[in-house]
């Protein structure tokens, strides 16, 4: 396996992970964020 291929795999995995996190935050953010904001305000 070449070094470049490994770097590309890492980059793709990181992009997929960030996309998943964005999707999860979009789904759960509506439920979780209000509580976190309420704690910070008080």
In this predicted structure, what is the pLDDT of residue 32?
62
- Nearest by Cα to 27 from 36, 37, 39, 19: 19
Distance CA 24, CA 40 (A): 22
Six-digit token string for 2: 């070449």
Please name the residue ranges forming H helices in 1-42.
Answer: 3-41
Q: How does pLDDT run across 22-42, given as a tens digit for each residue?
A: 988 888 776 666 666 667 666
- Say which residue, 39 or 11, is predicted with more confidence: 11
Six-digit token string for 36: 């976190």
Residue 5 has pLDDT above 90, yes or no: no
pLDDT, average across residues 1-14: 80
In this predicted structure, what is the pLDDT of residue 26?
84
């Amino acid at each position: 396996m070449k070094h470049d291929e490994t770097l590309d795999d890492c980059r793709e995995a990181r992009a997929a992970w960030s996309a998943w996190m964005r999707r999860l935050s979009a789904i759960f953010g509506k439920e979780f964020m209000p509580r976190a904001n309420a704690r910070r305000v008080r």
